[in-house]
Structure 1
Amino acid sequence: MVTPRPATPADVEELYRRHAREIHGYLCRRAGESGADLLGEVFVIALRRMNDLPAAELRRAWLFGTARRLLLAAERTTSRRRVAEHERVRVHDGRAGDASADGAPSVRAVREALASLKEPDRELIRLTEWEQLSIADAASVVGMRPGTARVRLHRARRALAAHPLLIELVQRPAEMSGRASGGTPGTGGTRRPAG
């Protein structure tokens, strides 16, 4: 059995060149502007742990796992700050912030549907759908066996497909396109010949 050689700074640089863009996208989708700072932390950890990095074919999943742990820590900190700020606003101003101002209704619907899933299932959806990780890599990131991840991912997809907000979201454009295909607006559905 051949023991893999420890990683070098050049190996970490290569990891950065190959995976920084996708890790940054993952972090920014989850943490917004903090994503760049978290990306730096991911690779600082990779440099510090050079001698402990997994085999080359597992390093991408390791980077996503490290990014996920940093995100979870940042989310806990942010959540504590939000609770404290909410309390301060409520106590001092007698009002609370509007938590529903997440942007477009479709974005809110997707966020709410995802929030209905358990955290590991949400993360499996994010990693496989948005980040395009294989089920095996996503399973490694969330710390479960690939077979378990495959079953949980299947169930999560079924739950999302049956979520009322997403069903409504999918049906709404179909209804609108059905109305729009009746002809030119303002002509009662009839087209006038050119000419």
Structure 2
Amino acid sequence: MTSDERFRRIYAAHFDALLAYAIRRVEQPEDAADVVAEAFVVVWRRRGDVPPDDEVRMWLYGVARRVLANHHRGRARRDRLGERLRQRLRAVVPTDPGSDVPHRLVLRAALARLSALDREVLMLTFWEGLEPREIATVLGLSAPTVRARLSRARRRLRELVGHDLGPPGHELGVRTGRTPEEGR
């Protein structure tokens, strides 16, 4: 019997037992299927090392056990990485000035009316905290050009937004009237 035929015979004879073994040791059934598939990849690669038939079942459990250990370590690493990323996002998101502006819809609409370059200069300045010389490097422009664009973009944004955005909740194009309580 060739090693390929023996592998097929071992696979057919032990697949269900290995799957049951893995299902009882992982949180998601999909993970068990991945563990068994990886275990049989190891068996395929090590076809020449597979013990005699009376020892193969225990050897397969040992292979599956090591694959499971790798699976659990990988899951723990992904969980730790995910937590670090969530912490970084929590630290970064609140510093977005756009989220603090009660009239962000008005601001975003005004930004959309600016040229792409002026919008990028403003965003790099206020949201990313870059200096004109740093923005010049990012955009491939000279620092004096960035300062001129920044000045022009600020002026244009002020024209589009105005100095007073109105009472909280105001949206462009929506007319509201005073409630009787407000008139007192």
TM-score (norm 2): 0.44
TM-score (norm 1): 0.41
